[in-house]
Amino acid sequence: LRQYPSDTTLIDSSDIIGSGAVLDVIMTGDAITSVSIVNAGAGYASAPVLTFTGGGGGGAAATATVTNGKISAVSLTSGGYSYNQGSGAAATATVSNGVLVSIAVASGGTGYRVPPEVTLSC
């Protein structure tokens, strides 16, 4: 299970046996335009139900194909509507003696419906 900036849950694991699949969502505007397999997982006896939740949107749908216990393909059947990741946020991190001591928001950006996922990189 992997969460995206829009808090979009991709795999509903409540009634499947396999695990470990990680999918990546690509968005254009406010719709999901593709779903790719980052990690196919293992142990799937049947295709998991792919459910998109959160992010303020709705209507997205996709089906998974399982081959030899792994997710081998994902087909996006509807990109949905009103999913929005927002844009333009910027921040500066301050490091002292190898320790992150503060993060200052330089710009709050626009269009965020839920808190974005933040990744720090050097």
Which range has the worst mean pLDDT, 45-54, 62-71, 81-90, 111-120?
111-120
Whether residue 33 is found in the same domain as residue 93:
no
Compare 54 and 14 and report the one with higher pLDDT.
Answer: 54
In whole angstroms, give the CA distance from residue 58 to residue 78. 10
Whether residue 59 is found in the same domain as residue 112:
no
Whether residue 94 is found in the same domain as residue 74:
no
Whether residue 52 is found in the same domain as residue 97:
no
Whether residue 98 is found in the same domain as residue 59:
no
Classify residue 31 by its DSSP letter.
E
pTM for the whole structure: 0.58
Classify residue 45 by its DSSP letter.
S
Return the C-alpha torsion angle 53, 54, 56, 59, nearest 10.
Answer: -10
pLDDT digit string, tens, across residues 24-67: 888 887 888 889 998 998 888 888 888 887 667 888 899 999 99
Is there a domain that residue 100 lies in?
yes
Number of domain units in the chain: 2
